[in-house]
Amino acid sequence: MRNFGLIGFPLGHSFSKRYFTDKFKSQNIDAHYELYPLAEISLLSELLDKVENLCGLNVTIPYKQDVFSFLNDIDESAKEIGAVNTIKISNIGGVKNLKGFNTDYIGFTETLLPLLRPDIKKGLVLGTGGASKAVVYALKSLGITPTLVSRISGKGILSYSELTPEIMEDNLLIVNTTPLGMYPNVETAPEIPYSLLGPNHICYDLVYNPELTTFMRKSMEQGATVKNGLDMLYGQAEAAWEIWNS
């Protein structure tokens, strides 16, 4: 039996185990998927030695960048993004070979495309973590100019307090890549000026639990189109499965 799993910490919010377990059962696939919460990334070495026939891993917060030092090879897209969320594990001459990929940008791109309009030229990306890097890569590939937004401004990064009416009017796409609003802290949300949103805005939240986040609800109240991250998760999971079986 082939084994797959997810590393990160904590993992209470993950949908991956249920998704792949259901997939394996419905398609009669002889494989098992497990959650591997690692309190620190150094524990990955022990995991690789311990789990027999481990063929692939998904990677989530906070290790999408820290995992690079464990990889033997990195896909060009993941290298350019600077974050890995999928690892293919091969056995070459009795030695494990780990290659990193990023399927977040694939899932995001596929699910954003149906929402896009020709007038959407710029987008705000809330957050600066591993997920934001995949979103920035995807937006650039679609010809949309991204601007990062965080609690503290920096080089090429705006703070929430710097989001003026002109900036909000100019950026008709807003993507939340932070964990704000994720269960169980469902009342939290990025501190953007929601009153400046309107019917022309698209507000995409990578959070999928709950299905309607506070970010989405506040955006909807201003007439914006909203979407959560569930379809993106399905897309990135299927892309990971293709990589593991390629």
What own/partner pairs with CB < 8 Å and gap ≥ 24 does 95-98 have?
96/48, 97/72, 97/73, 98/48, 98/70, 98/71, 98/72, 98/73
Nearest to 175 by CA among 195, 200, 194, 148: 148
Within 13 Å and on the Cβ side, how many CA atoms surround 154? Answer: 7
Query: What's the N-to-C CA distance of the chain in angstroms?
Result: 17
154 secondary structure, DSSP code: B
Separation CA 106–CA 101 (nearest Å): 11
Asked if residues 128 and 98 have their Cβ atoms less than 8 Å apart, the reply is no
- How far apart CA 1 and CA 63 sit, in angstroms, is 26
47 vs 57: CA distance, rounded Å = 11
Catalytic residue, from 17, 25, 50, 64: name it: 64
Torsion angle in degrees (nearest 10) through CA of 123, 126, 128, 134: -50
Residue 227 bears catalytic tag: no
Catalytically active residues, by annotation:
64
